[in-house]
Chain A
Amino acid sequence: MINISGIINIISISIIPFIMTIILIHGYIKRVDLYECFVDGAKEGLKSAIKIMPYLIAIFLAIGVFRKSGAMDILVKVLSPIGKIVGIPKETIPLFVIRPISGSASLAMVQDIINNYGPDSFIGRVASTMMGSAETIFYTMAVYFGAVGVKDSRHTLPAALISHLAGAVASVIICRLIFL
């Protein structure tokens, strides 16, 4: 187990330098004007980052007030029965609700769960698995759609939420099978 995870860690650290090296060497062999090409592309990067700023402000504001006002706590209470129906342990339901909305809040929540129940408890493992297998949906949509100025996201959000629910249920089931 330690060996495998060690190997995975090495791959994870070296994937970016590896891709970078391949791109540069291939470009050099093909006699691409590397420096100029890089700078041209980087200009696009600058534009994109500035372009998504207003969308980020809009999302950060909405989520910030929603959390701080206590409205998020109400949402957790309202949605808790749904979690119970699909078999998600009640201690991890707040995490399930908040994960798609706020990355920093869900991180704090996992930390809290792990401190209370221990990293190697069943609840701790379920929370870790859920956290490791989900993404902050609202933020991601704001960034990616913001970058191209698309306003109508169509079925993206419902499909993402369905997939999030499936991931959470799968987290619970796989943890039951492996750790209980």
Chain B
Amino acid sequence: MINYIWFFLIFISIVVSVLNGNINVINESIIKDAEEAVKFAISLIGIMSIWMGLINIAEKSGLIKSFSKILTPITSFLFPEVPKNHPAMSAIVMNMVTNMFGAGNSATAIGIKAMEEMNTLNKNKKRSTNAMCMFLVINMSSIQIVPLTILKIRADAGSVNPTEIIGTSLVATTVSTIVGIIAVKILQGKGD
């Protein structure tokens, strides 16, 4: 699917830019956006290395195993294909926790670790498993306890009460997460 989306995004953009007479934006984009992507990936190296390093310690010490045992009831419902004591489980849970607190790139690093662990259980490496789909949808609709960026924007704009949207965001994300989980369970069908 991403194949079609990617093609159409670029194809339509070229057509529109020709019709709008601003074809030069394509040239600009090729230079600037590629550079942005490289800069971003490089800026991830540090934080990813730190978290992968810390997780490796937690794995070797057995901390991750004991941590995932506590959460087994929830995680085995969401990820029935992942064995209870698999390292993927703890990375999944750690990602959820860090995500909730808006840890940004730290959460991403841990999440990638979770994906790599889930991929060890994957039979067809080109195709995502049910667990991966579930994990990503929960990740994207993640319950946000502190949306820091938006709080800052509100405070800068002179809001009387910048934090008043914490409660509403919490409700909205809870709804989106629950709907996301249901959608995944329905859409995954019989496959794998």
Interface residue ranges, A against B (CB under 8 Å) = 1-2, 5, 8-9, 11-12, 15-16, 19-20, 22-24, 26-27, 29-30, 32-34, 37-46, 48-50, 52-53, 56-66, 68-71, 74, 107, 110-111, 114-115, 118-120, 124-125, 128-135, 137-138, 140-141, 143-145, 147-160, 162-164, 166-168, 170-171, 174-175, 178-179
Q: Do the beta carbons of A24 and B57 come within 8 Å of each other?
A: yes
Query: Given that A8-B145, A160-B137 are known contacts, is A150 also in contact with B157, CB under 8 Å in the complex?
Result: no
- Which secondary structure dominates where chain A touches chain B? helix
Can you list 24 A-B contacts with CB-CB less than 8 angstroms, sorted by A residue number? A1-B163, A40-B53, A49-B45, A49-B48, A61-B30, A61-B33, A62-B5, A66-B9, A66-B13, A69-B25, A71-B16, A115-B157, A124-B157, A133-B173, A138-B5, A140-B139, A143-B108, A150-B125, A151-B2, A153-B133, A164-B140, A171-B169, A174-B172, A179-B168
Of the residues A62, A130, A137, contact of B140 by C-beta under 8 Å: A137
Q: Is B81 close to A, CB under 8 A?
A: no
Tally of A-B Cβ pairs under 8 angstroms: 370
Query: Given that A45-B52, A159-B180, A162-B179 are known contacts, is A133 also in contact with B144, CB under 8 Å in the complex?
Result: yes
